[in-house]
Amino acid sequence: MDEAPILVDKREGYRLITLNRPQRLNAFNEAMHRALKTALDEAAIDDSCRALLLTGGGRGFCAGQDLSDRVASGDTKRDLGKSLDTYYNPLIRKLRGLPFPVVAAVNGFAAGAGANFALNCDIVLAARSASFVQAFARIGLIPDSGGTWVLPRLAGAARARGLALLAEPLPADKAESWGLIWKAVDDGSLMSEAEKLCNQFAAGPTVGLSLIKRALDASETNTLDAQLDLERDLQREAGNTPDYAEGVRAFVDKRAPAFTGRRG
């Protein structure tokens, strides 16, 4: 029987999802897309899940589309737009819309859609030996999975163009200094650092954290005026959560807050 394309480990307060096609550097095939969709859907509706950790099994994070599924057969042309509509775009939308923080622990190559899958997570930690490659131009494609959207926003216009047009590996340390990721860490401490963050998020004010995500996402297109209005609305929502009441009470009592992540 085939191995499961992803592994889901339900931990106290968060889930660890491991991409599990190590012989192909965890490249995406349809089975992996389907399994990921189910796992993200399940996590999104589980109130006890307050963070998500994504990593790759074996020596890579994810090598993007499985190209062995794309070898041209005869004259038949494949509609890659359909592939994006069916798999990659819903995946990125779902990932960015999750109502809790998502941490990527990039343990090796993150290439093609695999790089942009990682870069769409809220916090990206990468092992120092890891690299990000916008591999698309090497095979005549354009960066997808939100690559043309996140790259200029994270790294700036000049670096986005260089990364996309040259398709050279960007080592983790440089990705950090370019502002593409949160932090590069020693290989041996990647998972423990990522788990520490997830434990912190799992004990955090989940509704407030999800509202922070919404506000920052909206700021990408909002005017200052619209953003100020949105901040007012989201702050009203945050101020009505039990975690806000607890946070203030804990501050006054000079103790650590015990957040529940409950909505109301």
Cα 32 from Cα 208, distance rounded (Å): 31
**Among 6, 32, 118, 135, which residue sits at the site for ligand T3D (rule: CB under 6 A)?**
135
Number of H helices, E strands in the chain: 11, 10
Instruction: Kindly state whether residue 67 participates in binding ligand T3D, applying the rule CB under 6 A.
Output: yes
By CB under 6 A, the count of residues binding ligand T3D is: 24
Classify 160 as helix, strand or coil. Answer: helix
- Point out which residues pair with 110 in neighbouring strands: 62, 132
Element (H, E) at 9: strand 6-11
Does the protein bind ligand T3D through residue 34 (CB under 6 A)? Answer: no
Which range, of 62-70, 186-194, 227-235, 249-257, touches ligand T3D by CB under 6 A?
Answer: 62-70
Spell out, one character per residue from 74 to 93, where the chain touches ligand T3D: x when CB under 6 A holds, - when not: ------x--x----x-----
- For ligand T3D, which stretch binds (CB under 6 A), given 61-69, 201-209, 215-223, 224-232? 61-69
CB 230, min distance to ligand T3D, A: 33
**Which of 70, 93, 161, 196: binder of ligand T3D (CB under 6 A)?**
70
Piece in contact with ligand T3D (CB under 6 A), picked from 111-119, 194-202, 224-232, 237-245: 111-119
Q: Quote the CA–CA distance of 43 and 48 in Å, as a whole number.
A: 9
Residue with tokens 């005017």: 223
Residues 6+ apart with CB under 8 A from 43: 15, 49, 52, 98
Q: Which residue is nearest to ligand T3D (CB)?
A: 64
Query: Any contact of residue 25 with ligand T3D (CB under 6 A)?
Result: yes
d(CA 122, CA 226) in angstroms, rounded, equals 23
Q: What is the CB neighbour count within 10 angstroms for residue 30? A: 13
Q: 131: which strand partners?
A: 171
Count other C-beta atoms under 10 Å from residue 216's C-beta: 11
Site mask for ligand T3D (CB under 6 A), range 221-240, x = bound: --------------------
Binding region for ligand T3D (CB under 6 A) = 24-25, 27, 63-68, 70, 80, 83, 88, 109, 111-113, 133, 135-136, 138-139, 141, 144
